[in-house]
Amino acid sequence: MRHLIFMLLLMPILFLSNGFAQDSTIWGLPQGAKRLIGKGEITGNIAFSADGTRFAVASSIGTWIYDAHTGKELTLLTGHSKRIRAVAFSPDGRIFASGSADNTIQLWDASTKQHRATLTRHSDSVETLAFSPDGATLASGSADKRILLWDAETAEHQNTLTGHTGGIRVAAFSPDGTTLVSAAQDDRIRVWDPHIGETITTLTGNTGPVSVLAFSPDGKTLASNGAGRMIQLWNTDTWQRQLAIRTHYDSIYTLAFSLDGKTIASGGGWHDNVLRMWDVYTGEHKNAFHGHTGSVTAITFSPDGATVATVSQDDTIRVWDLNIEQPRFILNGHVNVGTEVVFSPDGTTLASGGDWPENTIQLWNPDTGALKDTLEGHTDRISALAFSSDGTTLASGSWDKTIRLWNTHTAELKNTFEGQRREVQSLAFAPDGKTLASGSGWEDTIIRLWDTDIAQQIGRLETYTRWVYALAFSPAIQDTSEMFLASGSGDGTIQVWHLDSGRAPTDRPHITLTAHKDGVLALAFSPNSTPQYNWVLASGGRDGTLRLWKLTVGVPMPHSLALHGHEAYVHAVAFSPDGTTLASASSDETIRLWNVHSGEHYKTLYGHRNDVTSLAFSPDGTTLASASSDNTILLWEFEPPQNRWDLNGDGLVNIQDLTLIASRFGHDTPDLNGDGIVNILDLVLIANHLKK
């Protein structure tokens, strides 16, 4: 009985542990992150394990290992600091290798997933990997124009092959291991003796750039792509071209031989998107597998020859059953989850906007990472999202020049607004929850104001500048119908409009802020306000800077506080709900956190592998969501600085904070008492909180 009771108590723990282990949204998280939405962009090839039970996919965030029969995620291998460009299993199935744009190669135990070694001799991105047939040697080709040979067991460098005058695109061993072939950006194919490290011959007669090489199973034929619609087959005894297959469809992006060597599979480009099969001996077209909506960029046959896996720029992986000529399964997890992200006011929904080819909006559960719903209707990329203040309406703007309003409870389309002359670049709801502002690109210089209740345009603001990249409404001013609308433009200016009820400009002139040296891409108002109508506006731009502005009704703003640290475009800014922290996101792949009172940077979040394009705080302030061009959304644990008087964020209120205040005398930031200027009163406030 005691054993039975023990097992009954243990079972929930066992099930919980198993469920936790299978939750891929918590695998490979960077420090500080608590959940991952999306699997990242597919950035390289696909490779089957030697026994055919698994396959690996190179992505922007790591290497995903899948069950080859079911498509279930098995693990995510992380460790590289940049996107994965190449993956390979050793022929004996013991070692797995990944090559990255961080110039390194990682070796893993294929069974235990334990890291074995890091290979670091390349000076540029590792673009291709190939194991010798006996598994003893690993060849790596890099954009540094070199091929390095490694002892796969000891991870020691054996030899360096030089001769190409362009970055290496692909390398492959012959089935007997006596030769290694490579193609580079110099449009040449070189044949090497890997044992002595010398070139045997260089293949001439190429019809254009070569990016794909594949040996037939018997090693007698080498296939390469050529200019445009050409597949070239080479006799490996004479190294002469024996057949040229003109596909008549589109550029060839990838090639692979079937297990019996009688068929060669090709992947097409933008105007084809089809997996095609060709007769190796006659060049005749045998079959076509339709379904992908983007270029087919990688093909690999399973070791038993029963299936073929394809990767496409539509961000899907298809594993085709060759007996029935239909997909056995389709993996959609690598789709672009969006470069725009926003929380609903109640924090229960996270909305993201997708890019081509989906052009959809996804609604996520931020607690579990589960997809709640998908909103379809736009015909081009989603470029802006905004929730109404009551959370019942989600507005989406697109490059298709339309704005759509969605019922967030039913996921149904409520209305479509047309009238933008160019793609919609920015959206913002007013605090009243029914006035929506929209901005467009290029020659459309009008900010349009819409009443979402009556579905009509109710106002226009002429900016006289191009590209309204960003819009932000100030919070509601207590007991008034007044508010500010800030607009950021491609010419580096910020227009601040003083509105009444969000519907029309008052007779008060708007303010023009001009400190940015290039386009303003992001704007956000602090949620905090004062009786004097002092507002803090944050802006980020192409010049890589952040700026904090203090706005007072009727008073021009002569200057701002510049926050430096990002090394590229600043795409997004967001205030924490309590207004004490500013988050910023950049093309430098980082998120930086700033103390709003002092302007001091106190933390940097690393984890994305491409531009970080959007930020949103949860309403309760515990979570920061970030969206990136790496096809992922990360949810970060957020803990604001515990003490507003700790201006430099070192955890103490001390002499350093006094010194910081003293150095800013006469400026407007950090103005702690809200009187508009840094003075002796602010110094006294800090002094009263020393050591607290």
* 506-524 tens-digit pLDDT: 444 478 898 899 999 999 9
Amino acid making up residue 547: R
Examine residue 674 and state whether it is found in any structural domain, yes or no. yes
649 and 630 in one domain? Answer: no
651 and 619 in one domain? Answer: no
Identify the pLDDT of residue 15.
32
Separation CA 60–CA 41 (nearest Å): 5
370 and 419 in one domain? Answer: yes
576 and 681 in one domain? Answer: no
Examine residue 577 and state whether it is found in any structural domain, yes or no. yes
Q: Please name which of 108, 105, 195 lies closest in space to residue 158, comparing C-alpha atoms.
A: 195
- What is residue 34's three-state secondary structure? strand
369 and 434 in one domain? Answer: yes
Q: Please name which of 90, 194, 192 lies closest in space to residue 134, comparing C-alpha atoms.
A: 90
Q: Please name which of 548, 655, 628, 652 lies closest in space to residue 594, comparing C-alpha atoms.
A: 548
Task: Name the domain boundary from 598, 615, 640.
Answer: 640
* 510-524, 531-545, 608-622: the lowest-pLDDT one: 531-545
654 and 576 in one domain? Answer: no
468 and 454 in one domain? Answer: yes
597 and 505 in one domain? Answer: yes
Looking at the predicted structure, is the pLDDT value of residue 163 above 70?
A: yes
Question: What mean pLDDT is reported for the chain?
Answer: 88
629 and 612 in one domain? Answer: yes
Q: Report the predicted TM-score, pTM, of the whole model to 2 decimal places.
A: 0.85
Domain count, the chain: 2
Task: Name the domain boundary from 596, 623, 640.
Answer: 640
The pLDDT tens digits of the residues spanning 665-682 come to: 777 667 666 566 788 877
513 and 583 in one domain? Answer: yes
Instruction: Find out whether 131 and 91 touch, Cβ atoms under 8 Å.
Output: yes
Q: Please name which of 16, 36, 601 lies closest in space to residue 368, comparing C-alpha atoms.
A: 36
Q: Residue 657: CB partners within 8 Å, gap ≥ 6?
A: 598, 645, 646, 647, 648, 686
Question: How far is it between the farthest Cα atoms of the chain?
Answer: 89
Query: CATH number, domain at 662?
Result: 1.10.1330.10
646 and 635 in one domain? Answer: no
Examine residue 549 and state whether it is found in any structural domain, yes or no. no
Examine residue 272 and state whether it is found in any structural domain, yes or no. no
Examine residue 241 and state whether it is found in any structural domain, yes or no. no
Amino acid making up residue 164: H
Looking at the predicted structure, is the pLDDT value of residue 68 above 60?
A: yes
Q: Is the dihedral of CA 410, 412, 415, 419 positive or negative?
A: positive
User: In which domain, by residue range, is 651 found?
Assistant: 642-692
Task: Name the domain boundary from 640, 657, 674.
Answer: 640
Mean pLDDT in residue range 486-493: 92
Instruction: Find out whether 316 and 334 touch, Cβ atoms under 8 Å.
Output: yes
Query: Which tokens sit at 142?
Result: 């890099």
CA distances from 266 to 27, 227, 272 (A): 34, 14, 11
Separation CA 594–CA 601 (nearest Å): 4
Examine residue 14 and state whether it is found in any structural domain, yes or no. no
Q: Please name which of 602, 588, 585 lies closest in space to residue 651, comparing C-alpha atoms.
A: 602
519 and 414 in one domain? Answer: yes
Cβ neighbour number for residue 565 with a 10 Å cutoff:
16
Examine residue 392 and state whether it is found in any structural domain, yes or no. yes
Cis amide bond preceding 30, omega within 30: no
Identify the pLDDT of residue 338.
84
The pLDDT tens digits of the residues spanning 261-320 come to: 999 999 987 778 999 999 999 999 999 999 998 899 999 999 999 999 999 988 899 999
Mean pLDDT in residue range 155-176: 96
Query: CATH number, domain at 403?
Result: 2.130.10.10
Query: Which tokens sit at 687?
Result: 């002094």
Backbone angles phi, psi at 180, to 5 degrees: -130, 130
Identify the pLDDT of residue 227.
64
Instruction: Find out whether 175 and 133 touch, Cβ atoms under 8 Å.
Output: yes
Mean pLDDT in residue range 150-167: 96
Looking at the predicted structure, is the pLDDT value of residue 148 above 50?
A: yes
Separation CA 297–CA 275 (nearest Å): 10
Identify the pLDDT of residue 553.
57
Identify the pLDDT of residue 673.
64
Bridge partners of residue 171, in order along the sequence: 182
Examine residue 346 and state whether it is found in any structural domain, yes or no. yes
Residue environment code for 232-267, b if the CB has 16+ CB neighbours within 10 A, otherwise e: bbbebeebebbbebebebbbbbbbbbbeebebbbbb
**What is the DSSP annotation of 528-565?**
---TT--EEEEEEETTS-EEEEEEBTTB-----EEE--
